[in-house]
Amino acid sequence: MAATGNTTPPLTVGFLGAGAIAELHRRAFDDVPGIRLGGFYEPDPERRAAREKDWQVPAYPSADALVGDPRIDAVYVLSPVEHHEAQAMLVLEAGKPLFVEKPVAPTPDAIARIAAVARRRNVFCMPGHNYVYDPALAPVRDALAAGEFGRVYTVAIHYAIRHDEALAARYPGVLEQVVPHHLYTLRFLGEEPVRVAAMTTSLHYRRITQDDQVGLLVECRSGALGLLFASMAADDWSADPWTFGIKILGEKGSVGYTWRTAVVNRPRGTHPQAYLPFEATFAHEARFFLQACRGERAVPLSTLEDAVLVEATILAARRAATEGRTVAVEVPRAADIPS
């Protein structure tokens, strides 16, 4: 195994799942000295063969085989969400640092169970949420925490990137697929959802019934309003595009952030264009994970506790959209979580 610098060997990571998001994580490793992909497990035979050829690392016959290999130091769970809890438990019980792509699990209770095992086994567990690892957001968060903007009135987060029907069919809908990022970001910026109203549409698909747009009005504990919008129905080619952006309106100032500061006309992952600030967040996230595994970091920028709150808010938003009313966000108490 080649050394990084003079003495420290690279952190060898195994992937559970080898879909589009796995390719973005693998590419990020190219930009982070000290972390490398050592192998992967992928149940789809066609994808498994293609990835083994492209990535030049071995495909394992099972998740157990990958996790049990002593040459694998840490694991990224990148599989469909219905497999996350079982695979996360497998990794945690093996005592290996764990990265779990969003959503961490389908329910708040399942995420809380993962968190309980991570605490019991004293294993670092990091939810995958790359957006907030952009260094450009760190001074915004710090200024908000220091009260530089005064009272925050509104946090608006928007996403508009068209996904064709074949791609969208792989996802549960834009609420469950995209809005978790918005909510993690809202939490990172210091706000806590307590009540939500929501509406969805399904306008541009011919066969599938998933929602392609969603709008959330979020009441935060601070009193601020969150205006969250996500669309897989349409791109935004206007002068001030909603591709992905954040607006914060405060008593003493405001914030604007966007991925459109640098765009390359090539596809990457599930996006038809390459948004360079978005792509770079995967490397920043991987660097943070590496530092945590080496004891240089302790708390992820998005925690498992945040993940519980995010999933509880998603469930409340789905209920709000279905029932046509506002719904309180109910986070399970630790005492109510089965061990």
Could you give the count of Cα atoms lying within 13 Å of 34 in the half-sphere of its Cβ?
A: 16
In a domain, 303, yes or no: no
Where residue 48 sits, what CATH number does that domain have?
Answer: 3.40.50.720
Mean pLDDT computed over 71-99: 97
Q: Same domain, yes or no, for 124 and 148?
A: no
Quote the pLDDT of residue 2. Answer: 44
Q: What would the pLDDT profile of 105-148 be if each residue is shown by its tens digit? A: 999 999 999 999 999 999 999 999 999 999 999 999 999 999 99
Where residue 188 sits, what CATH number does that domain have?
Answer: 3.30.360.10
Share of the chain above pLDDT 90, in %: 86
User: Given strand 74-77, what is the order of strands in its sheet?
Assistant: 35-41, 11-16, 74-77, 98-101, 125-128
Q: Same domain, yes or no, for 58 and 191?
A: no
Tokens of 135: 């260094």
Q: Same domain, yes or no, for 159 and 116?
A: no
Which residue type sits at 40?
A: F
Closest to 176 measured CA to CA, from 271, 106, 274:
106
Q: Same domain, yes or no, for 210 and 106?
A: no
Beta bridge partners of 214: 200, 230
Quote the pLDDT of residue 271. Answer: 79
Q: Same domain, yes or no, for 170 and 208?
A: yes
Reported as a pLDDT band with limits 50, 70 and 90, residue 6 is low
Final residue of a domain: which of 66, 95, 129? 129
Q: Same domain, yes or no, for 158 and 263?
A: yes
Final residue of a domain: which of 101, 129, 157? 129
In a domain, 4, yes or no: no
Helix or strand run (H / E) with residue 176: helix 174-177
**Which residue has 């959802």 as its token pair?**
193
Q: What would the pLDDT profile of 86-112 be if each residue is shown by its tens digit? A: 999 999 999 999 999 999 999 999 999
Cα–Cα distance, 294 to 271 (Å, whole number): 33
Beta bridge partners of 275: 263
Reported as a pLDDT band with limits 50, 70 and 90, residue 211 is very high
Answer yes or no: is pLDDT of 338 > 60.
Answer: no
What is the tally of structural domains in the chain? 2
Q: Same domain, yes or no, for 55 and 186?
A: no
pTM of the model: 0.92
Q: Same domain, yes or no, for 33 and 63?
A: yes
Pairing of strands 98-101, 125-128: parallel
Per-residue b or e along 120-129, where b marks 16 or more CB atoms closer than 10 Å to that residue's CB: ebebbbbbbb
Answer yes or no: is pLDDT of 225 > 80.
Answer: yes
Which residue type sits at 17?
A: G
Quote the pLDDT of residue 339. Answer: 42
Q: What residue numbers bound the domain in which 21 lies?
A: 11-129
The pair phi, psi for residue 317, each rounded to 5°, is -65, -40
Among 37-51, 111-125, 320-334, whose mean pLDDT is lowest?
320-334
Reported as a pLDDT band with limits 50, 70 and 90, residue 194 is very high
In a domain, 3, yes or no: no
Answer yes or no: is pLDDT of 4 > 70.
Answer: no
Q: What would the pLDDT profile of 244-290 be if each residue is shown by its tens digit? A: 999 999 999 999 999 999 989 887 767 778 889 999 999 999 999 99
Q: Same domain, yes or no, for 88 and 163?
A: no
Quote the pLDDT of residue 1. Answer: 40
